[in-house]
Amino acid sequence: MGGVKKKSMASMEKSQDSTETAQEGAAPAKGKKTKEKSGPQQRKQLSFLVPKMTDAEFLKALTPLKAITVFTASKALGVNASIASGVIRDLESKKVLTRVGGFSGHGVWSTKN
């Protein structure tokens, strides 16, 4: 009923030409190793641009919020969620914010009043 359709002559020739050139280029010379081992792989460290604000300015932007979540913080600060999450973690480590609830990685924080 619905199988693979037969390719046209031009596309069959193109695919045949490309496989022949790939086989010629990929054929390793005898006695040489083609695979080189590298050292342990390092994780890429992504750097995000945190807004240049002091802790007091962050707190001033987050204080009017009823419940501080990653989403509400990103809206209040005007940054994306990954940066807002980093800012919240930083403020929590400095004991400016306290975690009051949430589950499965979706935390809810409040200001320390």
Higher pLDDT, 45 or 90: 90
Higher pLDDT, 49 or 66: 66
The pLDDT score that the predictor gives to residue 32 is: 57
pLDDT bucket at 79, cuts 50 / 70 / 90: confident
Cβ contact 59:50 at 8 Å: no
pLDDT bucket at 44, cuts 50 / 70 / 90: low
Average of per-residue pLDDT across 14-34: 71
The pLDDT score that the predictor gives to residue 108 is: 92
What's the CA gap between 60 and 7, in Å, rounded? 65
If 0-12 CB within 10 Å is exposed, 13-18 middle and 19+ buried, where does residue 90 land? middle
Please, what are the domains in the chain?
A: 56-111 (1.10.10.10)
Compute the mean pLDDT over every residue in the chain, rounded to the nearest whole number: 79
